[in-house]
């Protein structure tokens, strides 16, 4: 049993793979529809602050800081938060489950997704790629939205968020391990039945 996994893994459960999402900003995230609006908003705030400083003094210009912060948050806040979330995320695949571990400010979370008959992994190929295997409710909006890249485009109900091993360098290999494990489990179940 590897250090730190005592009491988490079932007896005889083996770790097959461990990894972490790719670090850093993903420039394609800046192609979001909020980015140009946020840049325009922030640009106007800077323009207003410069004008206010030249006509009314520095104190008046400081009133533009909240608007500058809102504009910058709309433009790059999401990608920065996503990069921080990925840096604090760790993945583990065993012969019985997929684990997603996250650490936040003072809190740690470990989610376990058992490999079994209802486990349906989806490969989003690329470098890095992703292996998706579950969804969660994010909010109560209705409808459908597209997710993924040009190579893999899925329709996911709005309000649901895909869960999986996101932005990993060896996505094909991990996907293959999952499929092989599911086949092995199906073979054992058929032999018992």
- By C-alpha distance, which of 161, 193, 186 is closest to 85? 161
Beta carbons of 165 and 130 less than 8 angstroms apart: yes
d(CA 66, CA 156): 35
**Beta-carbon count within 10 A of 28 CB:** 9
pLDDT of residue 152: 43
d(CA 131, CA 18): 13
pLDDT of residue 164: 92
Gap between the terminal Cα atoms of the chain: 31
Tokens read off for 98: 């997929």
Residue 7, by phi and psi: left (phi above 0), alpha (psi -120 to 50) or beta? left
d(CA 44, CA 28): 24
Cα distances (Å, whole numbers) of residue 115 to 15, 37, 84: 13, 43, 28
Q: What is the pLDDT along the chain (193 residues), one digit of tens a residue?
A: 566 667 888 888 999 999 999 887 777 767 778 888 888 999 999 999 999 988 988 888 888 899 999 998 888 888 888 888 888 899 999 999 999 998 877 778 889 999 988 888 999 988 889 999 988 765 444 444 444 444 444 444 455 688 999 999 999 999 999 999 888 877 666 667 6
Q: Return the biggest CA–CA distance within the chain.
A: 84
pLDDT of residue 142: 44
pTM for this predicted structure = 0.69
């Amino acid at each position: 049993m590897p250090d730190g996994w005592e009491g988490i893994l079932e007896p005889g459960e083996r770790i097959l793979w461990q990894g972490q999402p790719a670090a850093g900003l993903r420039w394609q995230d800046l192609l979001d529809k909020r980015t140009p609006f946020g840049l325009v908003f922030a640009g106007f705030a800077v323009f207003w602050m410069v004008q206010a400083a030249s006509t009314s003094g520095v104190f008046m210009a400081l009133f533009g800081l909240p608007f500058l912060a809102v504009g910058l948050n709309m433009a790059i806040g999401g990608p920065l938060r996503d990069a921080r979330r990925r840096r604090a995320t760790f993945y583990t695949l065993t012969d019985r489950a997929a684990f997603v571990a996250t650490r936040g400010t003072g809190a740690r979370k470990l989610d376990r997704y058992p490999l079994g008959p209802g486990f349906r992994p989806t490969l989003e190929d690329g470098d890095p790629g992703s292996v998706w295997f579950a969804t969660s409710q994010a909010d109560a909006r209705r409808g459908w939205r597209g997710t993924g890249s040009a190579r893999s485009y899925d329709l996911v109900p709005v309000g649901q968020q895909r869960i999986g091993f996101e932005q990993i360098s060896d996505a094909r290999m991990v996907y293959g391990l999952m499929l092989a494990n599911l086949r092995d489990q199906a073979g054992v179940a058929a032999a018992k039945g």
